[in-house]
Amino acid sequence: MHESIFPKPSPRGRPSAGSSSTSTRTQPAAGGGIIGEPGPESDFAALFAFVADPLILVGQFGLVEDANPAAFDRLPDLAIGLPLPVEKTHRERMSRYLSLCSRTENPIPGAVFVRAGAESSCRHPCRGARIVLRAYGDEPLVLLHLTPTNLEGRLHLLTERLNDVRRVMQERKRREIEMQALLTERSRLLVHLEEDAQARQRAEAERDAVLSRLYRAGQDERRRLARDLHDHAGQQLVTLTFGLRKIASRLSCPTAIHEVEQLLRHTQDIGQSLRRVTLELRPAALDEFGFVTALRSLVDEWSRVTEIVTEFQIVGEEVDFPLETAITLYRLAQEALTNVAKHAGPGVCVSVVLRFSALQVTLTIDDNGSGFAADEAIATSLVSQGKLGLLGMRERMALVDGTLNIESAPGRGTSIVARAYRSVEESGHA
Ligand SMILES: Nc1ncnc2c1ncn2[C@@H]1O[C@H](COP(=O)(O)OP(=O)(O)O)[C@@H](O)[C@H]1O
Ligand SMILES: [Mg+2]
């Protein structure tokens, strides 16, 4: 193995002292290698030693003739007198490269692949050219100049990054275009959806309108029938009953009294049939919503239409009671409120209170309007005047075993209190 003729590199990079030399090169002067001698070789040696980039001299058989400290630094396996520490799979290519370089003085770009660990290799870019140095004999050598890898590596990395970025940007652009297309499609679908929803809403609204027209028509018809029965047939029956009773009280002949009483029973039968029919025509709201809600909406609607200030109150816990009682109380409320609107005068206020107690349900309708003389005598004279609303209320309440209390005096307002039992058993008439 050769000793380098150049200044000693760092001990790490140097091989141990070699054995015999096979080179034909001229031995340098003792003491300082060729540096000591002036001339081109010594200039070259100085350059060789102090140049920052790794420089390697390779002989004609591919053995390392010499290397500068930077080369030993860069390639720790480098040793003078041995082949370049090239990675196995690159050896053939390396020797082709060296023979190419040995034929020209113009540096040829290449790379040295050195072993790095058990499996991998490390690439060192280089330039190689033929050089003849007297100090090494007349044989041409190849000077390998390892170019700084850092810069190139970084450049390479940078280029790759740049390419990555470009790829990412392209991908992003592509996604953006796709996204834009999807968004356009979405807005198109949304418009469709919106149109569909509007069409459906229109159809539903039309259907609702038709249904509610039908419902209202049905309700109006029922109301008309019930009113006709109540106002005409019912009131005429009441008149008839009162007339017959009056006649019976004046008769003395038992046969005549008996006949009149039979007529009275017939009249009562007709009255019962009439009530059954009126029951059939009971307010639909009662079936649909129950008594309390139906009554509340009756009061609200009445107040809204008449613009009379009305307070509605429920006292006690709501409990079930017979349907017939509910219908009677509902009709009573209708009649009482109609009377307020008809007779109580302007600026009147109304209070409706529904009270549930252990045994009874009580409906009170008070107003602070004009009032009237409400004694029995007057009540009787009402019949002759064909005013049957208050009497009808009383009769209806009696039919469900309830009571009606009417308190009124001119200028003192009117109070109507209807009381009914919660169940037939409790009324004592089971
Ligand atoms: N809330 C009321 N305020 C003032 N007067 C009333 C009230 N309710 C009834 N009246 C009087 O009692 C009379 C009898 O009422 P009603 O029997 O319902 O007959 P109608 O309402 O057909 O007149 C009414 O004509 C009216 O003079
Ligand atoms: Mg009336």
- Within the chain, which residue ranges are assigned CATH 3.30.450.20? 11-147
Pocket of ligand 1 (CB under 6 A): 339-340, 342-344, 367, 369-372, 382, 387-390, 414
Please name the helix (run of DSSP H) or strand (run of DSSP E) that holds residue 416, with its range, or none: strand 414-421
6-32 pLDDT, tens digit per residue, is 444 433 333 333 333 333 333 333 333
116-136 pLDDT, tens digit per residue, is 766 677 888 899 999 888 778
Minimum CA distance residue for ligand 1 atom 20: 387
Question: Do residues 414 and 369 lie in contact, with contact meaning Cβ atoms separated by under 8 Å?
Answer: yes
Q: Quick one: pLDDT at residue 376?
A: 63
Residue type, 25: R
- Within the chain, which residue ranges are assigned CATH 3.30.565.10? 285-427
Q: Which two tokens stand for residue 288?
A: 């649909």
Mean pLDDT of 137-164: 78
The CATH number of domain 11-147 is 3.30.450.20 = yes
At 95 the three-state DSSP class reads helix
Q: Quick one: pLDDT at residue 32?
A: 35
Q: Report the separation in Å between the CA atom of 368 and the middle of ligand 1, taken as the mean of its atom positions.
A: 14
Residue 6 gets which letter from DSSP? S
Give the residue, 194 or 218, on which the prediction is more confident.
194
Cα distances (Å, whole numbers) of residue 134 to 26, 140, 278: 7, 10, 140
81-96 pLDDT, tens digit per residue, is 999 999 888 999 999 9
The highest-level CATH class for domain 285-427 is: alpha beta
Minimum CA distance residue for ligand 1 atom 16: 389
